[in-house]
A = this chain, B = another copy of it.
């Protein structure tokens, strides 16, 4: 009988999802915030690479399956409310589809007005990532 207690511990939301923060183990940079369901988490643990639930495509999304930019799992953490995870990973290539290291490249700046500015560089042309 397969033990699924560890999956039952999680407080899945009304869509059966929870958010997962993906953090690079070496730099401790936060790379992405994505979503997972039970199946995505079970697959992540089984294969040792980050698998998410794509809310836009409504299907499992093995990160890097097209781009080669996989995320090898180093550690998985659950929070005190059992409703959010951290995947600590080794990131191959780039985490962001814009060709940046992290998805969190827009910084809030206050000068004359408050605005978001893209402050991190594009390291690779996205058209070269998704051929």
Contacts and interface: CB of A to CB of B under 8 A. Distances in A.
Contact of A30 (B30, B78, B81): B30
Chain A residues touching B, range: 35 or more
Given A30-B30, A77-B107, A114 B84 contact: no
Interface of A: 3, 5-6, 9, 19, 21, 23, 28-30, 32-33, 45, 75-82, 84, 86, 96-98, 100, 103-108, 110, 113-116
Given A3-B113, A19-B19, A33 B105 contact: no
Given A30-B21, A114-B45, A116-B6, A106 B78 contact: yes
A84 B33 CA distance: 7
Contacts of A110: 45
Contacts of A105: 77, 79-80
